[in-house]
Amino acid sequence: MAGSRRRRQLKKQREQAAAIIRVNFVERLPQELLAKIHDHLRFLDRLAFAVVCKTAGHPVPQQLDDTEPWLVFPDETKEEATFFSLAKGRAASARTSDLGTRGHVVLGSSSGWLATADEQAGIHIVDPFTGEHAALPDIRTVSFIRCWLSSGVHFFVDTEPLQKIRYGGQITRYAAMLILDNDFGVPAFATWEDPAAWTVAPARDGVEDAIHHEGWFYSVSSSGAIDAWEHKSGEFTSKVVAPARAMPVVKGFHVGRKYLVAMPDERLAVVLKYIRDEPPRIYQQPKSWACRFKVQVLIDAAHCAWQ
């Protein structure tokens, strides 16, 4: 009998202990802490946590604001798409024709609105939940965008009006640099003095990328050298700013491309793109690849110091 009472007491103690341990976090935690927990979760866990928060009478954590993107899952067979708004914590399926988005591509999202474009370059904004949608002005109303109808619709930039708008006034003095195909890497120049033709310039090795910076054309060669291009008596010639050098090695990767950029502080930098082809995991899997980038900033051209 005494043993039975003792067991009942132990059971009661265990139940009391369990009641203490079973703390209901969500109902008691401040909103900002829920948001912090939310920050550490990935998408599916966020959804599950959002269900728990909602059931506990808490709204979905507040940091899911309007800057959160939309996710759009097009249906492969039906003319339907599922739209998920992280901002609103809601998903909706809708017929794309009802929303006026059939055949559209999604350009972006902001404040709960999706921006889409169709094959004719008509740009629309749409709210998939309410079905509200409106057309924005046609891209062809931009004066330097031209349309070309030939086996489909093609759009291109007419450079002359673009430059007039961008630089103002009439273009009277200009110079342009063109790299003739990545494989050849041959630079060509055209100037206002000879507007009729491109002139090919001699280059020691292939030019991979070039920029116009502080009144000069700079290029990076396949060997990593940086050249500046000088225009004298109708010809462009290069002079070395930084000589060729060995590229840093990234194990398992090879240098795919080099890009030349000017940093905000006006120093030149070379962006090295390293590529590794990934072997297919299963038979007939499409070829995939991985890439990494290294940025080398030229900190002292005179001493060829790179960072």
Partner 1 sequence: MAAPESGDGNNGAARMVTLISSDNTRFEVEAAAASLSQTLQLTILDGGGGGGDGIPLPNVDSATLSKVLEYCIKHAPAAANGGAPNATAVDRAELERFDNEFVNIDQSVLYSLIMAAHNLEIEGLQSLVAKKVADMIKGKSPMEIRRTLGFPDPTPEEQAEMNAHMLEYGWAYE
Binding site for partner 1 (CB under 8 A): 20-26, 28-30, 32-33, 36-45, 47-52, 54-56, 73, 82, 84, 90-91, 93
Provide the minimum distance between the beta carbon of 306 and partner 1 in the complex, in angstroms, as a whole number.
23
Provide the minimum distance between the beta carbon of 131 and partner 1 in the complex, in angstroms, as a whole number.
18
Helix (H) or strand (E) holding 298: strand 288-300
CA-CA distance, 82 to 164, in Å (whole number)? 43
Instruction: List Cα–Cα distances, 275 to 187, 198, 223, 258, 289, in angstroms.
Output: 25, 33, 17, 11, 7
Mapped onto helix, strand or coil, the DSSP state of residue 130 is coil
Provide the minimum distance between the beta carbon of 62 and partner 1 in the complex, in angstroms, as a whole number.
15
Provide the minimum distance between the beta carbon of 22 and partner 1 in the complex, in angstroms, as a whole number.
4
CA-CA distance, 212 to 174, in Å (whole number)? 12
From the DSSP assignment, how many helices (H) and strands (E) are in the chain?
A: 5, 20
Q: In the complex with partner 1, which residue's Cβ is closer, 85 or 219?
A: 85
Q: In the complex with partner 1, which residue's Cβ is closer, 73 or 289?
A: 73
Q: Which residues contact 34 (CB under 8 A, 6 or more apart)?
A: 26, 53, 58, 61
Q: In the complex with partner 1, which residue's Cβ is closer, 22 or 173?
A: 22
Q: In the complex with partner 1, which residue's Cβ is closer, 51 or 290?
A: 51
Q: In the complex with partner 1, which residue's Cβ is closer, 33 or 147?
A: 33
**Which of 107, 103, 110, 54 minimizes the C-alpha distance to 86?**
110
Provide the minimum distance between the beta carbon of 288 and partner 1 in the complex, in angstroms, as a whole number.
25
CA-CA distance, 267 to 279, in Å (whole number)? 38
- In the Cβ-directed half-sphere of 233, how many Cα atoms lie within 13 Å? 0
Q: Which residues pair with 199 in a beta bridge?
A: 189
Q: In the complex with partner 1, which residue's Cβ is closer, 33 or 305?
A: 33
Provide the minimum distance between the beta carbon of 25 and partner 1 in the complex, in angstroms, as a whole number.
5
